[in-house]
Structure 1
């Protein structure tokens, strides 16, 4: 029996390209639907220097994309808003008020990952929707507990864990590992630990990568 192709998906939940990349991946799996897969969400904070309470979004974006970078952001935003509806995404950038730290979101998906890939996928989708569509603060404990509960996790346990530093160091260590092996942007899809596809690649590109990974020597 052929084992599933292993994919490490390195992502952050305030990264619009990551949500687009995830939806493209779901489309890619339909193209290569004869191949079983096993996706593991891996943490990557676009800005680990943020305080855990987060900062005002507009001030943050103005500082980050000032001068020449402002035009670059406008171009990226135009592309994202055009591409989103085709994969069922409604980006609502104008309504975002808060730029959260995502370290706690990564802790929650780590706990979901420990239970099942299905629950981890549900948490990831919930985080993306909460931030980009519903414009909620995904650094807030109540928001995170609600997302976790909707994905099938025990809300009482999640709340208790979030009140501690449980697994915070482990998340940061995992992030450091992916930095060390050369991941400099997200999303990054790593196939069988052998090769990577960076960015929100088209579904066909991801499907081709999946077929290549499935044919790697040594796989059963």
Structure 2
């Protein structure tokens, strides 16, 4: 059995189809040959965003698409298609805001829990679901607590960690170091998925179809023996 780590560099407001890919691959005999474990690495597309946030639709239209309704509609069509391939029902309203507190939550439990990889997976899935499908704030205390509960973190423990917003927040220094490291590895497009292989690694950058990820993982499986 070959153990492969998938380094997944993301901002928590970026689309992800890795979970759908893993479900597909694990449903084949690949699961008897390779164990895939995701390691989430933090990156901020817009580190200057406020924690209060602003209207998501208007922000994307203004910041990414030249305040063009036509270009925004094209983006919605594209992302809706990507989402459909991964079982995600994208919505485009809600709030866009600074994602640093969400990254802090993910990195803390990924690094400190005995089953950190499993908890991190559940945290990310809940954060995505809340942001993309329920139009929730990406890193409010309410959103983070809901994600922690979905991941099986004890409520009192989660509340205490999330409420720590002082100068010496637990894990914040380490988080900022990781973000700095990934900023040097990533140009301007996330997610970046690096799949560790026995013979060679595979890197996929940006939003892709599920089939692209499946192809990459199956290549790792074929070359694992």
Give the TM-score normalised by the residue count of structure 2: 0.81
Corresponding residue number in structure 2 for 1:77: 76
Q: Give 1:158's aligned residue.
A: 158
Q: Identify the residue that residue 136 of structure 1 maps to in structure 2.
A: 136
Deviation at 1:12, TM superposition (A): 1.7
Deviation, structure 1 residue 188: 1.0
Greater mean alpha carbon deviation, residues 148-157 or residues 198-207: 198-207
Q: How does 1:1-220 map to 2 (within 5 A)?
A: 2-15=1-14, 18-30=15-27, 32-34=30-32, 35-67=34-66, 71-93=70-92, 96-114=93-111, 115=113, 116-162=116-162, 163-164=164-165, 165-192=169-196, 194-214=201-221
Structure 2: distance between partners of 1:29 and 1:87: 15
Gaps of 5+ in 1: none
Aligned 8 A contact 2:57 2:94 in 1:
yes
- In structure 2, relative to structure 1, the CA distance for the partners of 1:210 and 1:69 (3 Å cut) is farther
| Distance apart, 1:172 and its partner CA | 2.2
User: How much is the aligned-residue C-alpha RMSD, in angstroms?
Assistant: 2.6
Question: Aligned residue pairs: how many?
Answer: 213
TM-score by length of 1: 0.83
Q: Please list every run of 5 or more consecutive structure 2 residues that lacks an aligned counterpart in the other structure.
A: none
Which structure has more relative contact order (CA 8 Å, sep 6+)? It is: 1
C-alpha spacing 1:92/1:182, structure 2 compared with 1 (3 Å): closer
Q: Whole-Å Cα distance in 2 between the matches of residues 88 and 203 of structure 1?
A: 10
